[in-house]
Amino acid sequence: MAARTREQFAQAVMRRLDDYERGTVRKSLALAGADTLQASAASTSPLGHPEFADLPLGASGKIDAVAMFLDLRKFTARSFWDPPEQIIRVNVAVISELASAVEQHGGYVLGFRGDGVFACFDGAGRLDSRAVAGVAVGAAAWALDAVQNALNGLLELSGIQPVQVRAGLDFGRLDFVRIGSPSGGSEVNVLGFAANFASKCEKAAKAWEVVVGQRLAGLLPAADLTQHPQSPTPYTRHGETRYYRFYDVALGKYLRHIQGVAHQLDGHPVSAVQIR
């Protein structure tokens, strides 16, 4: 996934919206032959982490990585009022390009969860965890900025209600497990506290905010962090209570530093970044 500006991101979303509005996507699928459709599917990047794509049923693997959730805020309420066709158009267009933004900044898209993108950033043991954390937060900052300051203006000009985006991240062990039935389908599921807590951070974030869990916060400069008003989260078992904190991140510095990273990566994962 080549580097793009936020304006190019916004234009890509609008092209997707126009295609759906004109029915171009449906007509293309209807007219395409089986061979064309198979070739198109083969050229599409598969979801998931490539290291675990070939896990057999019941097998697992693990990495230490940053887990990220990018989510369209207040989209459930919007779907209550707006026609389903419009919800589908906006959801597919924005979420698809958010996924592309993750990939262009070196992340792996692990799946789509309702109104959001689930992803991870993995240094593969070659890149310091602090650098991986910085790139992941920067990628989230870039995505929020592209929507807020480039896409939403075009949506308003087109008579479409602007969207709101938020992000939650944490760092830790991610376990990849292939789950399914020997006689049916299966998929690689991602388990672990880091992924679960990143999801909680996303739910705690307001629009245009990035909230991170305690382990990821430990990899970032303390000056960039403010403890979230709802923090900490208590966990109690067998009479013992432990606390896990989460933080709002000031995004200005990360947005500045992420500029040029996608160009340097040139479609490669974040582990390809060279630190000198």
The CATH classification number of 6-272 equals 3.30.70.1230
Q: What is the pLDDT of residues 32-42, one digit of tens each?
A: 454 533 433 33
Q: What is the mean pLDDT of residues 132-155?
A: 97
CB 190 within 8 Å of CB 231: no
pLDDT value for 36: 39
The answer to whether 261 and 138 are in contact (CB under 8 A) is yes
Model confidence at 126, pLDDT cuts 50, 70, 90, reads confident
User: What DSSP letter does each residue of the chain carry, written as one string?
Assistant: -----HHHHHHHHHHHHHHHHHTHHHHHHHHS-HHHHHHHHHHSPPSS-GGGTTPPTT-EEEEEEEEEEEEEETHHHHHHHS-HHHHHHHHHHHHHHHHHHHHHTT-EEEEEETTEEEEEE--TTTS-HHHHHHHHHHHHHHHHHHIIIIIHHHHHHTT----EEEEEEEEEEEEEEEEE-TTS-EEEEEESHHHHHHHHHHHH--TT-EEEEHHHHTTS-GGGEEE-TTPPEEEEETTEEEEE-EEEE--HHHHHHHTTHHHHHTT--GGGPPP-
- Predicted TM-score of the model (pTM): 0.90
Q: Is the pLDDT of residue 28 over 50?
A: no
Q: What is the mean pLDDT of residues 210-222?
A: 98
If you average pLDDT over residues 202-212, what whole number do you get? Answer: 97
When the pLDDT of each residue in the chain is averaged and rounded to a whole number, the result is: 90
Domain positions in the chain: 6-272
Q: What percent of the chain has pLDDT over 90?
A: 74
Strand partners, 176: 61, 190
Average pLDDT over residues 16-41: 57
